[in-house]
Amino acid sequence: MKKKLISFFALVCFIISLSGCATVTGPGVSREEIEKTREELKVKALAYKIKQMQRLYGIGNRLMQNIPPQDITRPAQPYIGMVCLQIDKYLQKVYNLNAQKGVVIVAVLENSPAEAIGLQPGDILLSVNGKDMNNLNYFNASVSGLKIGDPLQLKILRASQKLTFETRVAKIPINTPISMVDWQEVNAATDGKVIVVTYGLVNFAKSDDEIAAVIGHELAHAARGHILRAQGGQIISLIAALTLGIVAENNAPGSGEGVMRGVSQFGDIFNANFSRDLEREADYFGTRFVYYAGYDVDTCATVQERFAIEMPESMTANYFSTHPSSPERVARIKKEIEELKSGKAK
């Protein structure tokens, strides 16, 4: 018995000695090293966000350019086709800029005046029609009153070279800004003036076609004048897009997009809903927009199926009081797709 107690005591001592051994963490790092790495990661994160913005804007731009005239209730709108950001220390590093302030172009949209004259992401915008561009507000003020056909002179700084470009404001069937908010929830909405999407879609959507299906639905609300008919109501849609730590705001005729930090101004867009019939109409015309823009129109149905099957918990409590049921929506969309493909759709 005595030997057993001694052995047990020895074992306990051995275990205690092991627990007291120092944890090996590897080389130590200073606070300065941590902060440097933090700043480097912020630059990389911004570069990634801009890339995703460019993707989203490109999809929205393609949809807007190809809307059939009979499907829209408003006149054509002014169009330039570029997206700008306010220069800060992180954008300086993303684009290797020397300027400390001002406005930098981060996206140039296809088939736009901006693309036609050769503007490029990373160009610093110096002036618009002779007015200096010290910040994004200056840019917004300079272009907000432009109309279709107005002359436009843009002076830019590319690397160390100053260049001048001249063009005219073009037109597009509808120019609805697409804004991105840094929210994890799966959602998208519109108030008729802007389409707001959250970060969920880029992680949820399997393709640009699925993103187009979501934007097409929201764009249909704007194009068909649903905001006025719903007396200011806004939609909570089925799925969403892109978690970006930046928000886009209306930046120029035809840019369709601009960017700023912060998301609070868009919160109310998600708080109200359209009627079921307006949702049905948005499904109908959104599917047409996707088809005529050349995206895979079948995704308008399959993305609804994926949402209902894979993410039912994302539906809000009052979702079914304002939206048709998922089976109804899928069935209706599939019938419309058949009509579009057969040429029977009007």
Q: Which of 172, 193, 208 is the last residue of a domain?
A: 172
200, 241 contact by CB (below 8 A): yes
Residue 33 lies inside a defined structural domain of this protein: no
Q: What's the pLDDT score for residue 66?
A: 96
Q: What's the pLDDT score for residue 121?
A: 96
Residue 333 lies inside a defined structural domain of this protein: yes
Shared domain check, 221 and 91: no
Shared domain check, 330 and 245: yes
Helix (H, G, I), strand (E, B) or coil at 230: coil
Interstrand relation of 195-197 and 178-180 (parallel, antiparallel or unpaired): parallel
Residue 19 lies inside a defined structural domain of this protein: no
Can you tell me the distance from the alpha carbon of 33 to that of 113, in angstroms, rounded to the nearest whole number? 45
Shared domain check, 97 and 244: no
Shared domain check, 198 and 138: no
For the chain of 346 residues, list the mean pLDDT of each consecutive stretch of 10. 61 60 80 95 91 90 94 90 92 92 94 97 96 90 91 95 97 88 76 80 85 93 75 36 34 39 48 72 95 96 86 50 73 94 81
CB atoms within 10 A of CB 216: 29
**DSSP structural state of residue 74:** S
Q: What's the pLDDT score for residue 251?
A: 40
Q: Which element (helix H / strand E) includes 124?
A: strand 124-128
Q: Which of 127, 152, 172 is the last residue of a domain?
A: 172
Residue 311, CA distances (Å) to 139, 297, 308 in order: 41, 21, 6
**DSSP structural state of residue 260:** B
Shared domain check, 334 and 185: yes
Q: Which of 139, 172, 205 is the last residue of a domain?
A: 172
Pair of tokens at residue 95: 């684009």
Q: What is the CB-side half-sphere exposure of residue 5 using CA atoms within 13 A?
A: 2
Can you tell me the distance from the alpha carbon of 233 to that of 265, in angstroms, rounded to the nearest whole number? 16
Interstrand relation of 124-128 and 131-132 (parallel, antiparallel or unpaired): antiparallel
Burial class of residue 187, CB neighbours in 10 A (0-12, 13-18, 19+): buried
Q: What's the pLDDT score for residue 345?
A: 73
140, 125 contact by CB (below 8 A): no
Number of domains in the chain: 2
Pair of tokens at residue 216: 């097409």
Can you tell me the distance from the alpha carbon of 86 to that of 257, in angstroms, rounded to the nearest whole number? 13
Q: What's the pLDDT score for residue 100?
A: 86
Maximum Cα interatomic distance, the chain, rounded to a whole number of Å: 103
Q: Which element (helix H / strand E) includes 113?
A: helix 113-116
Can you tell me the distance from the alpha carbon of 282 to that of 198, in angstroms, rounded to the nearest whole number? 19
Domain that holds residue 306: 178-342
